[in-house]
Amino acid sequence: MIANLQTKVPVQVAGARVFVRGIRAALGLKGQWFNVCFVDDSHIRRLNEEFRGRPRPTDVLSFPWQDRGPCRLGAASPRKDPEGGWEGEFAGFLGDIVISAETAWRNAAAAGHSTWIEIRWLILHGALHLLGYDHTRDEGEMTALELSLRGRLGIEDPKSKSKSKGQKAKMQKPQLHSRLRDG
């Protein structure tokens, strides 16, 4: 589900749905899904304070449904817990991604690209967190995968197109393939 609960920044909800399908295909998430909710700065500030102890707006928050441990791209989601729960409606559910459209707009303006590019980057970033990646602890693995996926999904940074494709591939491919092979 994609929900837009704010009115301050235009959001392409239909485009976000299409993009989420592309992420699911690129990551091999057969039968796995997540929600994306667009909010304003005041809403995400409250969430950021409540769940992270940081009383300020942020661009994206991810709320995994279950602790996934190490990332397992394309792995089947658990269907039942020992008591028989989570079957049916929540089978394959990864969690929720909350994006501040206002912060996305500001970030995009500061970086010199469109809000739509920024929003797609944030959806991808949030999805990787739902899969268990953590850029604060993984020595660049999440970042390398995210940059590689941006290229595959057609949302590269317009300013980085000056690098040759070969240079980008050399920087990103080894880490991407090792994670997919090991995960």
Domain 2-134: give its CATH code.
Answer: 3.40.390.30
Q: Is the separation of the CB atoms in 69 and 127 below 8 Å?
A: no
Per-residue pLDDT of the chain (183 residues; tens, 9 = 90+): 999 999 999 999 999 999 999 999 999 998 899 999 999 999 999 999 999 999 999 999 999 987 655 444 544 444 445 555 555 677 889 999 999 999 999 999 999 999 999 999 999 999 999 999 988 888 889 999 999 999 999 998 877 654 433 333 333 333 333 333 233
* Cα–Cα distance, 157 to 118 (Å, whole number): 9
> How many Å apart are CA 123 and CA 35, to the nearest integer?
10
Helices 115-130 and 101-111, axial angle in degrees (round to 10):
120
Matching residue, tokens 């602890």:
137
Cα 22–Cα 180–Cα 138 angle in degrees, nearest 5: 100
Handedness of CA 103, 107, 112, 114 (dihedral sign): negative
Cα distance between residue 76 and residue 69, in whole Å: 14
* pTM for this predicted structure: 0.79
